[in-house]
Structure 1
Amino acid sequence: MPVKSAPRETMAWMESLDTLLANKDGLAAFRTFLKSEFSEENIEFWLACEDFKKTKSAVKIVSKAQQIYSDFIQADAPKEINIDFNTRDQITQNISEPSLQCFDDAQRLIYSLMAKDCFPRFLKSEAYKELVNKQQNGNQKRWLPFL
């Protein structure tokens, strides 16, 4: 997982999940970590919701909502996310006339799950520690070429 972010940025990922997700390399590293834990559907759902909320066309809102529903929400979806029955039921009832907010509750639940569970594990993971160490070591060599 090659990372091009400056060491300062890599260390800043520790601050919050938002900081990590706002950084292209941080997102890629976190996604790779989630894949290794077989829980990449969480970040994929979150990203799909972020993209969905930017949709302008009414026709695209319907088609994207249907796609998100079939990929992540409906029973036995290929990338089914772990949300409570009430949230899933509410989305199922509203999917025929979706709004840009129709996945907000589910997205908040998944974000919370990632922030409280996956993110702390990522920060403790060997993958993250290796990234920080490689960047710190690489940075020292760049700044001290005479060593």
Structure 2
Amino acid sequence: MCRGLDSLPITCLERAKELKALFGSLLQKSVITCFCCRLNVDEPLKWKESFEKLLSSQNGLCLFRAFLVSEFSEENIAFYLACEDYRTTKTSKLAAKAKKIYDEFICSDAPREVNLDHVTKAAMKENVEQPSQSCFDLAQDKIYTLMEKDCYPRFLKSTTYLELSRKAKSG
């Protein structure tokens, strides 16, 4: 189990900060270069209107996901999208897909565990035993709210988004 950041040598923490800065810089340059040629001019400005508008844009979702990767929290959008996909699953495949989502994102030793409270995790465990198309709704809503209130405002302040919106304003 992880003993926390305090247990790591200071050199490891410094290296982690360096890598985060490097990845952030590389990500910003590659994303801006990639998006500028395919982006509708005013599209980035619409993303600031609401989190929903950001997620409903293919480019916005891609850029937001890249931002979350740079923040080491990409599991949130991955879980949200897995739940969206799950809603359209055929009834015959619900049980297997529900277990896969639970094992990947919710159980205590999940490789991409999302930040959910104990009560919600317990409810999801029960729901997976009798899966329905809406069995992840509570957890998905909580992760959506977390991203909307926490990650989305940081995304709007990120150098990548600010650069794209500046370019959009200047035409």
Query: TM-score, normalized by length of structure 1?
Result: 0.89
Greater CA drift, 6-15 or 105-114 = 6-15
**Corresponding letter in the other structure for 1:54:** T
| Residue 89 of structure 1, aligned match among 108, 112, 122 | 122
Name the counterpart of 2:22: none
Distance 1:48 1:34 in 2: 16
User: How many percent identity over aligned positions?
Assistant: 48
Name the counterpart of 2:45: 11
Distance 1:66 1:59 in 2: 13
Is contact 2:42–2:168 with CA below 8 Å preserved after alignment? no
Q: Does 1:36 align with 2:39?
A: no
Name the counterpart of 2:162: 129
Misfit runs of 4+, over 4 Å: none
Is contact 2:86–2:133 with CA below 8 Å preserved after alignment? yes
- Structure 2 unaligned regions, length at least 5: 1-30
**Corresponding letter in the other structure for 2:83:** C
**Corresponding letter in the other structure for 2:42:** R
Name the counterpart of 1:68: 101
Name the counterpart of 1:143: none
Query: TM-score, normalized by length of structure 2?
Result: 0.77
Shift of 1:130: 1.4
Name the counterpart of 1:106: 139
Q: Does 1:52 align with 2:89?
A: no
**Corresponding letter in the other structure for 1:125:** S
- For residues 48-103 of structure 1, give each alpha carbon's deviation from its aligned partner in whole angstroms, at most 9, with x where no partner exists: 00111111x22211111111001101111000000111110011122122111111
Task: Name the structure where helix makes up a greater proportion of residues.
Answer: 2
